[in-house]
Amino acid sequence: MIDQWRDKFENYFIGKDFVDGSHDIGHFRRVWNVAEKICDPDDDKLTILAACYFHDLVSYPKNHPDRSKSSEHAAIRAAEILSQMDFPRDKIERVKHAILTHSFSANIKPETNEAKVVQDADRMEAIGAIGLARVFYVSGMMGSKLFDSNDPFAINRELDDKKFAIDHFHTKLLKLPDMLQTQKGKSFARKRTEVLLRFLEDLKEEL
């Protein structure tokens, strides 16, 4: 059943134009791959699968005034699409909840195990090697600078991750591992966080 629904979701996205390359079909696949690894045997995998594939159907840019509403709008749109696909009706509300609570900016606490798994899997995309790639991709889209040339690591200034990409490591990325909901997720995150820390050390040495 899981493979069949995954094929349906993949087919839905065929030909879709993703303006934001950090929230495209590759992102959805990676979130599902991690979610499948960190979920428990008793978790509802179909709910998790659907939430992973549709959680960023609506994803406003980080500097958009409605950024915090992305997950709310995505949940509504996902429910419409899943209903049209004859997705099990008794699972749609749980999918919507997982989508609604996955967002860092929305700051809504997940109440189900499935929602916790999806939130952790999505946040794993912000750390590790893929997190490095995505943070600089997104900062480029926003027109941010890599860092403050006079004070790269904010020793004598306030952090400003809308202006400097490196600041985002300390305002969000390095905080994520302590915010994860699942034990398996936390274990994954520790390894990925080491990638970020090594990068910062290497950058500091080069500068």
Residues 90 and 189 in one domain: no
pLDDT score of 59: 74
169 near 196, Cβ under 8 Å?
yes
Tokens 């997705």 — which residue?
Answer: 87
pLDDT score of 154: 96
Q: How far apart are CA 35 and CA 133, in angstroms?
A: 20
Q: How far apart are CA 66 and CA 51, in angstroms?
A: 21
pLDDT at 201 over 90: yes
pLDDT at 110 over 70: yes
Q: What average pLDDT score do residues 67-74 get?
A: 78
Q: Global pTM?
A: 0.90
Q: Where does a domain end: 61, 88, 111?
A: 111
At 68, the pLDDT band (50, 70, 90 cuts) reads: low
Residues 26 and 70 in one domain: yes
Q: How far apart are CA 197 and CA 30, in angstroms?
A: 22
In tens, the pLDDT along 140-190 reads: 988 999 999 999 999 999 999 999 999 999 999 999 999 999 999 999 999
Residues 106 and 142 in one domain: no
- Residues of the chain by 3-state class (helix, strand, coil), percent to 5: 65, 0, 35
Using CB atoms within 10 Å of the CB of residue 139, give its burial: 0 to 12 exposed, 13 to 18 middle, 19+ buried.
Answer: buried
3-state helix/strand/coil string of 132-194: HHHHHHHHHHHCCECCCCCCCCCCCCCCCCCCECCHHHHHCHHHHHHHCCCHHHHHHHHHHHH
91 near 97, Cβ under 8 Å?
no
Alpha carbon separation from 148 to 51, 94, 143, 155, 171 (Å, rounded): 37, 43, 14, 11, 15
Q: Decide if 62 is inside a domain.
A: yes
pLDDT score of 142: 87
pLDDT score of 66: 60
Q: What average pLDDT score do residues 2-21 get?
A: 88
Share of the chain above pLDDT 90, in %: 78
CATH of the domain at 42: 1.10.3210.50
Residues 37 and 139 in one domain: no
At 61, the pLDDT band (50, 70, 90 cuts) reads: low
